[in-house]
Structure 1
Amino acid sequence: MTQTPREEMTEYSLSALLTPPESPAEPEDFDAFWRGTFQEFGAGAVAWELTREHPETATHRVMEIRFRSSADEHATAFVMRPHAVTDARRGLVVGHGYGGRTGPDVERVPAHTAAIFPVAPGTHVGTASRFPAPPDEHVLAGIAHRDTYSHRFSAADIWRAATILLEIVPAVAGSLDFSGGSFGGGIGALALAWDTRFRRAVLDVPSFGNHDVRLSRRCTGSGEAVRRHLRDHPEVRPVLDYFDAAIAARRLRIPVHVSAAVLDPAVDPRGQFAVYHALPGPKRLGVRACGHLDGPLGELSDRLALQDGMDFLALPDERVI
């Protein structure tokens, strides 16, 4: 496989990646900050309304809804609910990559699962937001302070999406899972540590793991915009420690499946594996040949990781550990 220099920069041996790195230092008030954020945005009811019915599938009704974001603006989500609500056995909140989303990923949702696909603030085309949609701009929005950073609201909207899904399909309480990749995987790690409603999680090529590593080399992803921004604004570096997926992962106690790549030009593999190594609870690792690559190899790797994660969420409880 022909690789560009940037791709070669972010390929590592599996043996090196399987060696746990030195844990990143964390702010003393990391827990207090996130618990306060959850109390502010994740507890209580969430206002929402149905805006559009999408074509149904053989097993699900598909809805587009508008809800009140933690950013105090309109946000969009897509909901898939079994035709018979009584058929719902599991719930699923699905995060997305920095490409955003324009609809639900139907293939992710088994027949007996109710799912919600929230769109992160600023990333839905046609929904007004103070956050810009382009990844290189969104990743810098509000970065001057931890309270205003875009990632804080993206994580908080995962909680709000869970609240909406449990209102629509109450039967899935106790069987609520999360799945997210890249941007969505990193945001998921930040959100899951503080919300006890989740049962399991799948994090695919998760971003934002160990910022010291993430900032040490150039990449083709949003991390490059952050690395360049810090050259002129080094004073914002401490803010990123509150949004480090590897630090947040230390708090996770639910079973987690991580798919991590040995080659990835957009998200440094060392950061992906750092999220896995930080998990103290039950965990599984799926090793991908590559992540964030176009072409047949990248597409195959994506499909295999997707199926791997779906299989993990479908396992009986006694087989998870």
Structure 2
Amino acid sequence: MSIPIEHPYDFDPTYGLGLAELRAIRPPQAPPHFDNFWRERYVGALGVNPQPQLGESRLSHPDWHVHDIAYTSTDGFRIGGWLLLPREGTVRRGLVVGHGYGGRDQPDFDIPVKETAVLFPCFRGLSRSSRPPISSDPAWHVLNDIDKPESYILGGCVEDLWVAISVLIKLYPQLDGRIGYSGISFGGGIGALALPFDQRIDRGHLIVPTFGNMPVWLSLPTTGSAHSVQNYRKTHGDVLNTLGLFDAATAATRIQVPMLLAVARFDPVVAPPCQFSVANALPTSNDHETVILDAGHFDYPGCEEQHALLTEKVRRFFRAT
């Protein structure tokens, strides 16, 4: 296995950093009111009656009963998605799965879990949760209310995740304390922000998470959502005052449940130093594992083998015991 050498980008998606240098990166210090900011939002999300509605989906699968689902999140925002229920066995665990910034058009049927109710919400403004005037284009979505910390779109997406946990518990009360979270890229960053403050989530899996180490996120060339915020910063120099509250690496220092991280050494969309900042921030006293991929958001030789090994780890990590 080795990181890609040939690529079409006009910058180096390794940023010239070796593995030792990536492992040495640490998260920025939290703003003084970081914890209170998120605790207050969490209390507000807990007070929401999600009013979940289930319907039969046009999708079908031999292993899963597929349901369309919608629920009400904070600010009265209606969230759409899918709920998968196993055709065999009983529901013994719950799992919420977050998507990347491209959204999603269907659930992941190959998710390696059994006896699990799996909820795939679409975060506000994206895919089944799109609503004008919020743009579903990542370059604009990431800027929505960025000048207003209390209403910045990323905070609403974190609340959508917390309310998704409430939905599973409302539908299956026996799952309280037996619900995990898995998120990739955008969903990985949202998960890192949500996990420290919701004791109902018992473990988390983040794949190439974004929004880690915002000062670095704003400084490195990229094709991802950071590029849009970097352009915005040219005329709004104080944007880091908002982004400091939404730093996934800062939040990760507060995660107290077992974690399975997958981070990449080469990634043109989410800079590896930002991903490693999240992984490195996890408290060393807890049961965490970090899997290092050669690349993220990019096809490469050995990709299938690495992801097959990761899938097996995920299977064991979320085993319904």
| TM-score of the two chains, using structure 1 as the length reference | 0.91
Runs (5+) with no aligned partner, structure 1 = 317-321
Letter in 1 for 2:182: S
Match of 1:290 in 2: 295
Higher relative contact order (CA 8 A, sep 6+): 2
Structure 1 counterpart of 2:240: 237
Contact kept, 8 Å, 1:210 with 1:247, in 2: the verdict is yes
From 104, 122, 125, the counterpart of 1:122: 125
1:175 is aligned to 178
For 1:252 and 1:171, the matched residues in 2 are separated by: 24
* Separation in 2, partners of 1:127, 1:148: 17
Structure 2 runs not aligned, ≥5 long: none
- Kindly state the Cα deviation for residue 303 of structure 1 after the two structures are TM-superposed: 4.9
In structure 2, distance between residues paired with 1:221 and 1:47: 34
1:215 lines up with 2:218 in the alignment:
yes
2:114–2:320: 8 Å Cα contact kept in structure 1?
no
With over 3 angstroms needed to count, the CA separation of the structure-2 counterparts of 1:297 and 1:175, relative to structure 1, is same
Mapped contact 2:26–2:280 kept (Cα < 8 A): no
The equivalent of 1:319 in structure 2 is: none
Deviation per residue, 1:25-55 (Å, 9 max, x gap): 2111111110100111234431221244244
Partner in structure 1 of residue 313 of structure 2: 308
Give aligned pairs, total.
Answer: 314
| Offset of residue 72 of structure 1 | 2.2
Q: Structure 1 residues 304 and 149 mapped into 2: Cα distance closer, same or farther (>3 Å)?
A: farther
Pair 1:305–1:141, CA change in 2 (3 A): farther
Taking only the aligned residue pairs, the percentage that are identical comes to: 33
The match for 1:64 is 68
Q: Does 1:224 align with 2:255?
A: no
Q: Deviations over 1:201-228 (max 9, x none)?
A: 0011010000111111110100111111
Which residue is 1:38 aligned to? 42
Would the aligned equivalents of 1:88 and 1:171 in 2 still touch at CA under 8 Å? no
Q: Distance in 2 between matches of 1:203 and 1:138?
A: 21
1: CA distance, partners of 2:304 / 2:12: 16
Equivalent position to 2:22, from 17, 41, 62: 17
Letter in 2 for 1:293: F
What is the distance in 2 between the residues matched to 1:100 and 1:11?
Answer: 30
Cα displacement (A) at 1:77: 1.7
2:196 to 162, 180, 193: 193
The CA deviation at 1:298 is 5.1
TM-score when scaled to structure 2? 0.91
CA RMSD of aligned residues (A): 2.1
What SS does the aligned partner of 2:219 have?
A: coil
Q: Contact 2:269–2:297 (CA<8 Å) still a contact in 1? A: yes
Of 253-262 and 160-169, the range deviating more from structure 2: 160-169
Distance 1:196 1:268, change over 3 A: same
Q: What are the residue-to-residue correspondences of 1:259-278 with 2, within 5 Å? A: 259-278=262-281
Is structure 2 residue 138 aligned with structure 1 residue 135? yes
Compare 109-118 and 204-213 and name the one that shifted more: 109-118
Letter in 1 for 2:52: W
